[in-house]
Structure 1
Amino acid sequence: MQTETAPKAPVIQGVRYFLAHTPGLVQHGSKPSRDLILDPGLVTDLASHLRSFSEAAAYLPNRAFLGGIYPDELLKTPRPWYGLNGKSPRWNPHGEIMPEEEFYGLLKIGDSFDLVWLDEDFIKNISATVADHPLISEDDLEKLGQGHPHSKIKEMLTESAERLPLQLGDGRIVGCVVGAHDQDATLTPDVLLENLSCKVSAAMAFRTLMSQLGTDPNDIPYVINCGEEAVGERYQRGGGNLAKGIAEMCGCSNASGSDVKAFCCGPVHAMVMAAALVNSGVYRQVAVVAGCSLAKLGMKFRGHLNHDQPVLEDVLAATAIMIGEDDGVSPELRLDSIGRHTVGAGSSQQAIM
């Protein structure tokens, strides 16, 4: 007679984060991109209120996010926090904050369809730094490529409005993003930039997590992506599977995966599903990943400019969480205490406000 094995309780085996400081992309956030069209004169004012990398790395909320300080330290620190010039480490216990130059390199590494064009001189300048990153492989460097002449990128930007400039915080144009189809609103340069940013930021958080846990990417059986970006094309606008794209970029060749969408609540739903998959014995481990939302860059930039403050929404964030079987030391996910926010409770802005 076969004896049934009791299911193992799901636990959180690890959590890691990733930040990228991208002042040059602030103009492509949803709010700035709309306002700059209506009032082009804002460009100069916006540019003068962008932060340097050291300022963003020293910003206490960013350090708390990455585990550099305990969140309670914020309560003890006088505001405004952006005016403090303290430590500005790139590497923190829970992840890194990456400069925008390297993040642009990541965009190219994660680009499977030649959508990101980078200046050849820019690539020469960043290649050594990118190669020194502990989570960047030789295969990644090959995908970075050699770049294109600046004259060609300039030509690409002038001959069609269907190209999006990639510029640094200091205003230098170092590349562009091209559309994948001129008759598909889901494959325009701005949407593709959002999707690529979500993919590569999640991949870096996931790589960080696996590296610090000592996990072989080939051992990951399932990945759930709960970032807010939806990928697709004109026949299935949000039907794409970003989870598998992230898994592929992380070398998880044996993994499958799917996306879960629920706005800011997505990670909660994804963690419950991951825990249930582990508890039921379907999978031994499930990774929950979430990339950035580029559209939120500069969301409150008008308020910052009005008060002569630096634009604080200049970083892209991502996270990765590993759910696995009980190992005797990790915190348990209690499936017997899961709550719900019901449809009848109402969750639209109109209902809340």
Structure 2
Amino acid sequence: MPTIVLSGATGFLGAHLMARMLSAGVAVLALTRGTPAFAGRRLVRALHFAGLPAAGHFLQTGQLRVVPADLHRQQLGAEPPVFQQLADEADEIWHSAACTDLQAPWEVVSQVNVDGTRRMLHLAAAGRRRPRFVHISTAFVAGGRPTGMIGADALDASHGFLTPYEESKYHAEQLVRAWAAEGRRALVLRPSTLLSDRPPGLRGPRHPHAALRLKLNRLAAHGPHALAQRFGLAPDAEGNVQIRLPGRPDSLINLTPVEYAADAMIRLARADSAPGTTTHHVVHPADTPLAHWLGAMAANAPWVRTRIVGHLPDPTSLETFVASLLPGSDRYSYHRRHYERTALDLAEQRDGAAAPPALDATYLKAALSSPARPTTPLHSGI
């Protein structure tokens, strides 16, 4: 039975990767923080979320093992003999743990996304089996490039970055490439924005836009008149609140169901990797119009009317507030770029697998919906 060391197993994507690995008969050593009992409960919840309800037996049989680890500490916080034993057990090391908070400063995201990657590479380098390192990056290492086809091997900082998260993942990929250049094997997988239309659990993994969803739904719960009072606006004659956002009306964003992304990653990983770094995009074949995405965001507030304008010289206080919830929105909304997915297309043809259909309004609304919350006093810290 092959053994995979997996970081980020309780995360939104990591839970789905772990479920597929276990279902395929792979032994998974899940790097987690907290006591083994607490971590075990979190792993079971994550597997339930990923569609593997009878998850406890994987812990009971030892196919899934809890390994205490801390990405903020040297040797993952383990004593040298324990660290070496972990490294020697690994046939592959998958690094899925990441700070995906788009509003977090560089000092926060770099601790996990850059320094944590360096420590995981140290673990892989120490293993006697010379494990392949599978690094979960992001399609957004393309940074601020607004148009064109992004090649699978492209790693270019010349367009700058829209968030510290993007920049941190760029530097992490540089570390992986330098590590693999010494005759080792690395596979870099770059997903786009991941979503799920399954209802979120109270304590289960959340997708990267969960915080945004919660803030928008809380905002919507107050209704148009409360917004008008808080932001000094007046609803129009039909009782609607107008919100303009800067961008191009034909802008596109790539959104991918997390279930499909996890399947695609496992499919791509089946191919052996030559020495060096192999990089693949894991993206939806059909980009989503930004206007559809914005419409889904406003689905719980039918009295909101969003409009994309090429230039916004004098934003209202509400427009400024909404923009603050969407880091980089003043530049993401001008994007019409695409991502090369040649390897994924070939892998799906090989396996007879179908790519998902374009995401429609029903899917997008479900992905961004959440239960209504009791109305609380409206303030700028929503």
TM-score range, shorter chain: under 0.3
Q: TM-score, normalised by structure 2?
A: 0.25
Higher RCO structure, 1 or 2 (CA under 8 Å, sep 6+): 1
